[in-house]
Amino acid sequence: MPDSTEGAQRQKPITMQEVAEHAGVSMATVSRVLNGASTVDPQLVERVRAAMASLKYQPNRAARALAGSRSGHLGLLVTDMQNPFFIDLMRGVEEVAQQNGYLIIMCNTAEDSLKEEQYIEILATESVAGAIIVPTRERLQELDLLKTRHIPVVAVDRRVRDRSIDAVLIDNVAAAKEAVAHLIANGYRRIGIITGPLSTTTAKERLLGYRQALQEANIPLDPALEHHGPYNEETSRLCTQKLLDLDPPVQAILTANNRLTVGTLRILHARNKNVPADVALVGFDEVHWAVPDLVSITTVMQPAYELGRAAANRLLQRLRQPDVPRQEIILQHQLLIRESSQQRSFP
């Protein structure tokens, strides 16, 4: 009697990884050969084809069919692959993609517009089925390269100026406005903001929400309280120093992402400022990094995982129906009130 376990093993489909190992190439090379890319060295093409024949490899036709004449790959460009917010967003995209037979090509632009341009060129050359992009700036003309090749694009977390491109995000104006209104309700008046580069819609819109909350409370705007720069800890360290040196001093700070929050906390600790007794703090997104004397931070929570899933689902819908009207999907944020913004009374 034949060994049933051995028979089951023989029936298990050969994977692309096994083909790559047999041919001594990367999975990306195998993928390019399967998709007919012209950029692969002919000798590598022959090695891959020989490996597929030897292993009797059968490509995943279902995934290829979903993408029509294109590859079974989707591009995903994020600006900070180490940030837990983007990790959760990537998980959401990847889960939907895999459920629908697609693989993800991950790209980390590190908020660098040149790297972003290079990645977009690569995705266009590889003729991915579609792309999901966290843009480094609102004006992103490089997306025309994808559009001319009929590669659909969905922007996530941030908008682009091109109103033909779908977007999935939260209402950043409302979120920042709610955060600042909470601080005002708790007695704070000298409220500073540290936001990202104003070339991004998240930074501009969160600054606008900050201003609206102050104006509605009849608190004069003060340019000395408004700071912006790259979304990193160095920005917030420098800006927090400036806010602490003001006369009269800042009473509270809104930081527009979690990296900015970490930098601000480090400077507050270094200058022996207690949160919230000396300076209150509200941030965007959870802080997972180790910081000294960490109190629980009042935070605008964005549904990062759900943003990723919604962006992937929207891209798949556009692949099936290329002519559907442009859509902007707004998901709900949540202000989680914790220790760092406790109510205060000032003389």
Q: Give pLDDT, residue 131.
A: 97
Q: What is each CA distance from 334 to 27, 176, 179, 207, 245, in whole angstroms? A: 40, 11, 10, 18, 32
Would the pLDDT of 284 be above 70? yes
Residues 144 and 205 grouped into a single domain: no
Residues 295 and 177 grouped into a single domain: yes
Where residue 84 sits, what CATH number does that domain have? Answer: 3.40.50.2300
Where residue 55 sits, what CATH number does that domain have? Answer: 1.10.260.40
195-238: per-residue pLDDT in tens? 999 999 999 999 999 999 999 999 999 999 999 999 999 999 99
Q: Give pLDDT, residue 51.
A: 87
Q: Give pLDDT, residue 198.
A: 96
Judge whether 346 lies within some domain: no
Domain that holds residue 10: 4-59
Residues 200 and 105 grouped into a single domain: no
Residues 313 and 268 grouped into a single domain: no
Mean pLDDT estimate for the chain:
89
Q: What is each CA distance from 29 to 45, 72, 104, 263, in whole angstroms? A: 8, 14, 15, 41
Tell me how many domains the chain contains: 3
15: which 2 tokens?
A: 């994977």
Q: What is the mean pLDDT of residues 18-29?
A: 83
Residues 17 and 87 grouped into a single domain: no
Q: Which residues, 6 or more positions from 237, have their beta carbon under 8 angstroms from its beta carbon? A: 263, 264, 266, 267
pLDDT > 90: what percent of the chain?
Answer: 70
Q: Please name the helix (run of DSSP H) or strand (run of DSSP E) that holds residue 268, with its range, or none.
A: helix 258-270
Residues 298 and 310 grouped into a single domain: no
Length of the chain: 347
